[in-house]
Amino acid sequence: MIDLSKLAEPGSIEETLLEKIDLTRLPRHVAVIMDGNGRWAKARSLHRVEGHRAGIASVREIVETGARLELGVMTLYAFSVENWKRPRYEVATLMMLLKEYLRKELATLMENDIRFVPIGRIDGLDPSVQRELRYAEQQTAQNTGLLFQIALNYGGRAEIVDTVNRIMSLLRDREMSDAAIDEDFFSAHLYTANVHDPDLLIRTSGELRVSNFLLWQIAYAEIHVTKVLWPDFRRKHLFEAIIDFQARERRYGGVDESPDAEMFIEADSEEGRRRDQ
């Protein structure tokens, strides 16, 4: 049962937004491209890494909100396979911040019953980062609330290539190398095997790109882009994204067969007949 008192203070803007959300139609999986840390820092004449440091407060608030809203899954894009091209100092600071986050936040993850799972080419990260990730994953493995996936050294194309290789080696081992595979089988071998595809993809800082994030999984996701920079992204912005999501009509390539939609069609054709007369 969702405890609304933990999500909004009485009389707050969050409360007004929360009232607009249909709690029975929440997205099951929310994926987030956290962007704009550099611009946030630049606007304050700070070094880029200060933007990443400030972004951690947003991570904390958004993940905790997701857990309290009882969303099934949240996936945050923290470091892409392309991000190695950034200056060494920035990469090192991001890794240091990640380790610091894991150490400091483990207790909060446990309190909120959150299961933490990193996705991506984790074995390409520094062994000290891998150790912290493994520890947090093991400690939270029995939690049954929100699944919090963090994408690290992640690329959507890399994931698809890794999946193809994984499937090929599996079929070779089973001596089934000429077997045909289908979409379900392929999905079941992605990093996100057994996890519902995102219903909602949020991108901060206004850019209209998917940046190689969850390419297979976002096939039918609704996309919400906000100009808010990641370090400024707060609970109310997540509520706004969910309200936007709930206003969309999701048809998965089919047609809307709800009674309301039929009424529209009838009204349209009625009007059409009148016009034709």
Catalytically annotated residues: 35, 83
Q: Which of residues 126-165 bind ligand FPP (CB under 6 A)?
A: 150
Residue type (1 letter), 104: K
Q: What H or E segment, with its residue span, contains residue 68?
A: helix 48-68
Would you count residue 35 as binding ligand FPP (CB under 6 A)? Answer: yes
Using the rule CB under 6 A, which residue among 26, 30, 52, 136 binds ligand FPP?
A: 52
Q: Which of residues 216-235 bind ligand FPP (CB under 6 A)?
A: 230
Alpha helix locations (H) across 69-182? 88-111, 127-140, 156-173
| CB 39, min distance to ligand FPP, A | 3
Residues 6+ apart with CB under 8 A from 182: none
Is residue 73 within 8 A of residue 195, CB to CB? The reply is yes
| CB 247, min distance to ligand FPP, A | 27
Would you count residue 202 as binding ligand FPP (CB under 6 A)? Answer: no
Using the rule CB under 6 A, which residue among 8, 34, 81, 117 binds ligand FPP?
A: 34
In Å, what is the CA distance from 174 to each residue of 182, 191, 226? 17, 21, 47
> Rounded distance, CA 71 to CA 83, Å?
29
Q: Of 90-98, 164-172, 220-228, 264-272, which part binds ligand FPP (CB under 6 A)?
A: 90-98
Would you count residue 59 as binding ligand FPP (CB under 6 A)? Answer: yes
Q: Of 92-100, 119-127, 242-250, 263-271, which part binds ligand FPP (CB under 6 A)?
A: 92-100
| CB 244, min distance to ligand FPP, A | 22
Instruction: Report the candidate in 152, 149, 163, 255 with the shortest Cα–Cα distance to residue 196.
Output: 149
Chain residue at closest Cβ approach to ligand FPP: 38
Residues 6+ apart with CB under 8 A from 150: 75, 76, 78, 116, 117, 118, 119
Residue placing its CB nearer to ligand FPP in the complex, 42 or 189: 42
Would you count residue 198 as binding ligand FPP (CB under 6 A)? Answer: no
Residue placing its CB nearer to ligand FPP in the complex, 38 or 198: 38
| CB 156, min distance to ligand FPP, A | 15
Would you count residue 119 as binding ligand FPP (CB under 6 A)? Answer: no
Q: What H or E segment, with its residue span, contains residue 38?
A: helix 37-43
Residue placing its CB nearer to ligand FPP in the complex, 8 or 152: 152
Would you count residue 97 as binding ligand FPP (CB under 6 A)? Answer: yes
Would you count residue 39 as binding ligand FPP (CB under 6 A)? Answer: yes
Would you count residue 56 as binding ligand FPP (CB under 6 A)? Answer: yes
Classify the C-alpha dihedral 44-52-229-84 as positive or negative.
Answer: positive
Q: How far is CA 241 from the centre of its chain?
A: 12
Q: Of 95-103, 161-169, 240-248, 255-263, which part binds ligand FPP (CB under 6 A)?
A: 95-103
User: What are the backbone dihedrals phi and psi of residue 200, each rounded to the nearest 5 degrees, phi first?
Assistant: -135, 130
Residues 6+ apart with CB under 8 A from 209: 203
Residue type (1 letter), 175: E
Q: Using CB under 6 A, list all residues that contact ligand FPP.
A: 34-39, 48, 52, 55-56, 59, 78, 83, 94, 97-98, 101, 150, 230
